[in-house]
Chains A and B, each alone.
Chain A
Amino acid sequence: MSNQNFSKKIAQARVNMLQAGVSPKYVRRSITELKAHFADLKEKHLQDGMNQSEAEILAGQQLGDLQEIVRQTAARKELLSFISLHPRLTLFVFPLLSYVLMTLLCIGAILVAVELSGMNTLADGEPLPSGILPFFHLVAVYLVYLFPVLLAVALVYLGTQRLFRQKHLLLSLVLISILGSIWNYSITGGVVGEGSINLTVALFGFAPPFGFNADYFLRAVVRILCIFAVAYCFWQKLSASQAETD
């Protein structure tokens, strides 16, 4: 096995380990150690008087079949990543749970803001002191609008690192973008010292019990497109940089 052949085989072994679900930490470690081991064997054979080509061939033979090493690594459950042991949980249940958490955080933020404003109730259209509007803006914009985008980016990152099946990654992105588009938030400043907030759930513009709302529908479409566009660009960028590394 020449140096070039070995490099190709080691790159293939890296891909195969990731596809088999081996934790990236152990994939990196295996590759580093196998390369060092190959170099040590080659060096020894060169010192023993072999020429470059003979030394590389013998070193490759002694190291053994890299695909067998991949199989043995993947056969050890303790070396597999949590994500590969529980793919459905990672791709579908965690995003759902994170939206539940986001909703709770949103409601918590509203309750804190109401408490700070000294209001006793939170009725629809209740006047809101302008002093806490920036707080609402920050919380709502980050949680309701940016969170789904960040979640999609995180998922794409995990997916490219661990070489998820594209079909699963796409399905999970669809779920994230649809769920990420159901929250609608609006806030009005009104006159100084007053304002109102509106946090509504609407699936593709249908907000029970109010029926279809074209504004919410458009917002949902734009947000789905945004989430997909950002995730896709990030995906392309990661894939390109990974191809360069390989």
Chain B
Amino acid sequence: MAKTNAAFMSGVPELLVLRLLSREEMYGYQIVRGIRQATGESIILAEGVIYPTLHGLEKKGYLSARSRTVEGRSRVYYHITAKGKKRFAAISKQWNKITASVNACLEFAYV
């Protein structure tokens, strides 16, 4: 299965992660599964790359993390903060604006 072109992915993992975590807290593996499922497997990332994104979002205060041991395995669960919710609202608005503009451009009938 081919991985998604990285050049098109700038900022997308952040948007997807915030979206997924706005529903429930999850750990890295679950987030990657969640992205695959929610996008119908059309967005496939190198799975380990999710961690720099998660850590960056946590450092910026958009996510908070807590460690839990589940079935003998150490898990770090992430959940969205109030600041993260605001950030999600802002970037999803931007995203909608950009996609609408790109679609308009693609559908524009050139004469």
Contacts and interface: CB of A to CB of B under 8 A. Distances in A.
A63 B45 CA distance: 9
Contacts of B75: 36
- Main secondary structure, interface of A, reads helix
A36 B59 contact: no
Interface residues of A, number: 24
A68 B7 CA distance: 15
Interface string A85-102: 000000000000000000
Contact of A36 (B29, B52, B55): B29
Interface stretch (A27-35, A47-55, A160-168): A27-35
Contacts, number: 70
A79 B55 contact: yes
A37 B89 CA distance: 29
Contacts of A62: 46-47
Interface in B4-51: 27-29, 32, 45-49, 51
A39 interface: yes
Contacts of B60: 78
A76 B47 CA distance: 18
Contacts of B45: 64
Most A C-beta atoms less than 10 A away, residue of B48, B65, B74: B48
Given A36-B29, A39-B73, A30 B46 contact: no
Given A73-B55, A78-B59, A78-B60, A63 B73 contact: no
A68 B28 contact: no
B29 A66 contact: no
A79 B29 contact: no
B55 A29 contact: yes
Given A78-B59, A79-B59, A69 B76 contact: no
Contact of B49 (A32, A36, A72, A78): A72
A39 B73 CA distance: 9
A175 interface: no
Contacts of A64: 45-49
Given A36-B74, A78-B56, A79-B59, A63 B48 contact: yes
A63 B52 contact: no
Interface in A10-66: 26, 29-30, 32-34, 36-37, 39-41, 62-66
A40 B49 contact: no
Given A69-B51, A72-B49, 14 more contacts: A29-B65, A34-B48, A34-B51, A36-B73, A39-B73, A41-B29, A62-B47, A64-B48, A65-B46, A69-B49, A73-B55, A76-B52, A76-B59, A79-B52
